[in-house]
Amino acid sequence: MSDKAAKKRQFILDTAKTVFAEKGFKSVTMKDIVEACEISRGGLYIYFDSTEAIFSEILRDEAAKQSWNLAGGSAGDRLAFFLNEQKKSILSSDKGLSVALYEYMFYKHEGNLSCDDINDAFKAGVAAVEAIVKEGVDSGEFYADDIHSAALNIVYLLEGLRLAAGTVGVSERDIDGQLVYILGGLIAEE
């Protein structure tokens, strides 16, 4: 049973994810999810108490899937790979979930609710980028006065791009231009 229950739980999460990707966070109601999952109103409450609980768990799932330190290779290769992944994610339809994510963050922030998962994820992201940059600096591939600022710069820039993608829209060329800029900033200066 616990097995079956786990499967149903996962089914709900997967289905709800598509709903959040489509409608953002705040607009999604328990009813929307009930309808998308084609289960009963009461049935959903057995597993989750609120859209917030569902989204929070979806985030946990997503975070678990993340692997910052993918592959091996030189720092340059790894950074290039990372940036390419980010580019794909910014352009992809999964962008939808990022809009929901922003709404979720605002929602938590407005309520002055702690949002440690998000904060932690952000810090983890910064740390991962910082690690790559540091490695590159150590190996002489990159140049940076202040490694922390360099990493933050990359992360903030990517957030800015992602946000723009969800609102005013960005072209692939715009993204490429910025990625070149990032790499240039780390490499060009001898």
Interface contacts to DNA, rule CB under 7 A:
1-2, 4-5, 8, 29-31, 39-43, 45-47, 49-51
CB of 156 to its own copies, least distance (A): 3
Q: Interface with its own copies includes 166 (CB under 8 A)? A: yes
Measuring CA to CA, which residue among 33, 79, 77 is closest to residue 53? 33
Query: Which amino acid is present at 129?
Result: V
- CA 86 and chain centroid, separation: 9
Piece in contact with its own copies (CB under 8 A), picked from 21-29, 35-43, 57-65, 72-80: 21-29
Q: Which option in its own copies, DNA, none does residue 73 bind, with CB closer than 5 to 8 A by kind?
A: none
Give the separation between CA 186 and CA 180, rounded to whole angstroms: 10
Measured from the CB atom, is 80 or 157 closer to its own copies? 157
Give the separation between CA 187 and CA 153, rounded to whole angstroms: 15
Q: Which option in its own copies, DNA, none does residue 81 bind, with CB closer than 5 to 8 A by kind?
A: none
CB of 72 to its own copies, least distance (A): 29
Measured from the CB atom, is 30 or 127 closer to DNA? 30
Query: Which amino acid is present at 44?
Result: L
- CA 87 and chain centroid, separation: 12
CA angle 23, 29, 30 (to 5 degrees): 130
Measuring CA to CA, which residue among 128, 148, 118, 24 is closest to residue 85? 128
CB of 132 to its own copies, least distance (A): 17
**For tokens 């939808």, what's the residue?**
96
- 114: three-class secondary structure by DSSP: coil
Measured from the CB atom, is 25 or 142 closer to DNA? 25
- Binding footprint of its own copies on the chain (CB under 8 A): 22-24, 26-27, 99, 102-103, 105-107, 109-110, 115, 118-119, 122, 145-146, 148-150, 152-153, 155-161, 163-164, 166-168, 174, 177-178, 180-181, 184-185, 188-189
